[in-house]
Amino acid sequence: MINNLSASTRDNRLNNRVALILGAGTSAPGVSIGKACSIAMARSGARVAALDFNMDAARETVQDIVNEGGHATAYQADVANLDQMQSAIDAVMADYGRIDILQINAGIGKVGGPVETSLEDWERIQKVNVESILIAAKLIIPVMVRQGGGSVIGVSSVAGIRYLGYPHLAYGVTKAAVIHFIRMLAQQYAGDGIRANTIVPGLIDTPRIHKNVAKVFDPNADLDRARAARDRQVPMGRMGTAWEIASVATFLASDDASYVTGTEIVVDGGLTGKFV
């Protein structure tokens, strides 16, 4: 059965916790991973600080949470900009006074190998996917240390551990870096009660695939054909849903994962275990 996290999955695992989700909006109509994680954590009792550089997208996530009786506030910042992040974190601290859960979810990519990838694209992808973790950690780890702990969740991709059949170089290299950054963070701060783990999603049916990767899976970028082609690659015969990532994020954020740190959870329907 597919986990679509219906309202019946509400619980209180994250009561009294503040979850800051970076990239909490969605880049096109539909449910992105950051949006699903924000809603799922709110359903488990967290108060959610939904940050995105697209304020309308962040507000939409907040509205969905509020409509269900949850608590959330929208914040605007580019995760790759230290000054904007400093202002946004100051605002979160002024509103909530603490940050217990940090999910670093915003991510971008551009299809291409070394010859096709411009230095400008390489630098921007590096900044949004990796430098954003440095910035967030600089600003939020001291808060968590003062509080006596917290849970940091990185979002990588199977493209960070495998070649997926087409060149996605800057994306893959930065997603590999996410894994090691979070591992190192986990080791350094384990004694401070901070757990840090990475989710490695496989092929997930989110709006970004409509925008960015449909053309890789179908020459005419036909969405239905691209979707079917992505489904066929997965041993389970289908892409995952954003909710299937959200349930793992909520687990990692909660005390159910109290002894889980410095590692990755691959959520890919069997994709990376397959021979061809």
CA nearest to 24, candidates 119, 137, 125, 107: 107
- Residue from the set 17, 19, 34, 179 that interacts with ligand NAD by CB under 6 A: 34
Element (H, E) at 84: helix 82-96
206 touches ligand NAD (CB under 6 A): yes
Question: Closest residue (Cβ) to ligand NAD?
Answer: 107
Residue 54 CB, nearest approach to ligand NAD (Å) = 4
25 touches ligand NAD (CB under 6 A): yes
- Residue from the set 107, 150, 172, 269 that interacts with ligand NAD by CB under 6 A: 107
Element (H, E) at 207: helix 207-208
Q: What are phi and psi of 73, to 5 degrees?
A: -135, 145
Catalytic: 163? Answer: yes
The residue type at 140? I
- Residue from the set 21, 153, 204, 252 that interacts with ligand NAD by CB under 6 A: 204
103 touches ligand NAD (CB under 6 A): no
Give, as one character, the DSSP assignment of residue 258: T
105 touches ligand NAD (CB under 6 A): yes
CA nearest to 46, candidates 5, 95, 100: 100
157 touches ligand NAD (CB under 6 A): yes
33 touches ligand NAD (CB under 6 A): yes
Of 11 and 123, which has the nearer Cβ to ligand NAD?
Answer: 123
- Rounded to the nearest 10°, the torsion over CA 238, 251, 85, 201 is -20
CA nearest to 272, candidates 113, 154, 165, 126: 165
Q: Which of residues 211-270 bind ligand NAD (CB under 6 A)?
A: none
Q: Which residues pair with 71 in a beta bridge?
A: 47
First-residue to last-residue Cα distance in the chain: 26
Residue 260 CB, nearest approach to ligand NAD (Å) = 20
Catalogue the active-site residues: 163
Binding site for ligand NAD (CB under 6 A): 23, 25-27, 32-34, 52-54, 57, 78-80, 105-108, 128, 155, 157, 201, 203-204, 206-209
